[in-house]
Structure 1
Amino acid sequence: MTNPTQADAAAALLAANRRRRSIRRWIAIGTLPLTLAALLLVGKLLSMYAFAHQSISSFVSGGYAESEAAARNLDVLNWFEPFKAPYDIGTALAGADELPQARTELERALPLAEGLEVCYVRINLSLVMERQGDAAQADGDAARAAQFYGEALQVTAETPEACSSPDAQDQSPDPNRDMSDTLDENQKRQQEKQQQSQQQDPDQSDQPDQDDEQEPQDEPSQSDLDEIEKKLNQGAQEREDQVDGDGDGQGGGTDKPW
């Protein structure tokens, strides 16, 4: 027979074991949300790098639709570097010449960018606006083109000076392109395009002078007609060169997105 002391000790041991199991169970229940959150965090980080790599590689190879689709996956639970999802989406849309949508996404990315991140967001946003100006110019809407070029120039001009620093170049998404030189070239080109569009005023050029209306006009000579035709052809060729670019996907002489 078991004496009372041994029975009490066994009962106490069983009770202690039950308490430990109960404590472990409640600890497991209490830490379950933290465990799930940790797993979700790891999954998000891994998927973020995977989708970012897919978006970049697709963009480089010209698969803009695939690049956009991968970038949109970054927009889900967009906790880390929140500017990157709309930036990548906008850049992919710009590559596909979906300019209004690209502009919307890049404008969404700009206030989310911090520090030197704003540099390449501003560069791509200004390039999209410039391309909108190229498209308007191709449609013969010089006033609308001048407005787009002015907006592009403003975005470029307001780019922080730090974007021309070596640190900014180190963070550039395209290390083969110098960020400082790109900003200078963009500003110069956009300013020239804006001025050219502003100078085109068909309403004014079609208006004859009042003094000329009061005097009979001589019939133009053949040489005068040839000179006029030469100037018209020259102007048309310049506008065509401005809109068509150099054949490498950079419409209107505009740089491609970064």
Structure 2
Amino acid sequence: MSTVTAPDDLRAQAASALLASNRRRRRIRRWIAIGTLPLTLAALLFVGKLLSMYAFAHQSISAYVVDDFSASESAARGQEFLNWFEPYKAPFNVGTALAGAERLPEARAKLEESLDLATGLEVCSVRINLALVIERMGDAARADGDGATAAQLYGDALTVTTEMPEECDSEEAQQQSSDPSRDMQDSKDGLEDRLKQKQQEQEQEQPSDQEEQPQDQPEPQPSEDKLEELKDKLEQGTQERDQQQGGDEPGSGTDRPW
């Protein structure tokens, strides 16, 4: 005979099965959460980095506009942490802030770093600012009276400018410029003309090698007639001195140095 399960036993079995099912679901959810934790953290980091990047960039630009170059540099350096997205922008903004503070060698180093990281149309704005910084370094050397260094720096700036890609003349490049109000083509052409003129002026001001280092002129040599005449006078003078000192006595004269 088959036995009939009591209702209480059925309820107990159902409750036990439900508890076991819940435990399985919780265990699955826990492992899913553990497995997706790296992705969740990465997503949060990605969003945080994007927000901070735009925040730091805005702070750097705002400070630069009001000539607070120290604050602009500080904000721009905040972009350097985990600099994965558009990596050229952090050193570009730092270099631009340093240039505003007249820390030109440091600015040049940062902009050259930015140029190494830039790709495509990104190089256009970097090259313009880098050339301007090097030009100002040349102006400083010229003011200090170091014409040779000034001419070299003007040449370096001109090289940076002339090596700009042709794509930098496009409308797309203008739209991506760090300063859309500044016409990139006009800036490039004006910079090239100015640098050529300054370099030419410095080269013209430099003295020639012959002026800087005059050659020693050889002393003129006396002719043979002059030598003979001088020799006769010396011999005559010696004879006169011997006669004055020794009189007519024989053997009274002595050899003396000239």
TM-score, normalised with respect to structure 1:
0.77
- Counterpart of 1:45 (choices 50, 58, 68) is 50
CA distance in 1, matches of 2:100, 2:160: 19
Query: Match of 2:94?
Result: 89
Query: How far 1:28 sits from its partner (Å)?
Result: 1.4
The one-letter code sitting in structure 1 at the alignment partner of 2:185 is S
> Please, which of 127, 148, 156 is the counterpart of residue 153 of structure 2?
148
Following superposition, the deviation at residue 173 of structure 1 comes to 1.8
Work out which of the residue numbers 173, 187, 193 in structure 2 matches 1:188. Answer: 193
Could you tell me which amino acid in structure 2 is paired with residue 77 of structure 1?
L
1:52-79: CA deviation from partner (whole Å, max 9, x where unpaired): 0010111111011110000000000101
Aligned to 1:122: 127
Q: CA deviation at 1:210?
A: 9.3
Within 5 Å, which residues of 2 pair with 1:131-146?
A: 131-146=136-151
In 1, Cα distance between equivalents of 2:141 and 2:175: 35
Which residue is equivalent to 1:33? 38
Equivalent residue for 2:14?
9
Alpha-carbon distance, 1:209 to partner: 9.8
Select the structure with the greater relative contact order (CA < 8 A; seq sep ≥ 6): 1
Matched with 2:169 is 164
Listed one character per residue, the Cα deviations across residues 174-225 of structure 1 (whole Å, up to 9, x for unaligned) are 22211101100101111111111111224655677999xx9xxxxxxxxxxx
Take 2:11 and 2:170, find their aligned partners in 1: how far apart are those partners?
A: 80
Q: Tell me, what secondary structure is at the counterpart of 1:103?
A: helix
Distance 2:7 2:80 in 1: 69
TM-score by length of 2: 0.77
Match for residue 58 of structure 1 among 63, 73, 86: 63
Matched, 1:103 2:108: yes
Pick closer, same or farther for the CA change 1:166–1:4 going to 2, 3 Å. same
Letter of the 2:93 counterpart: D
Cα distance, 1:12 vs. partner? 2.0
Other structure's SS at 2:91 match: helix
What is the CA–CA distance in structure 2 between the aligned matches of 1:203 and 1:112, rounded to whole Å? 42
Give how far 1:13 is off.
Answer: 1.8
- Mark the runs of 5 or more structure 2 residues left unpaired by the alignment: 1-5, 221-258
Largest Rg, 1 or 2: 2
Equivalence for 1:219: none
Letter paired with 2:196: Q
**AA partner of residue 48 (structure 1):** M
1:220-231 map, 5 Å: none
Q: What's 1:236 paired with?
A: none
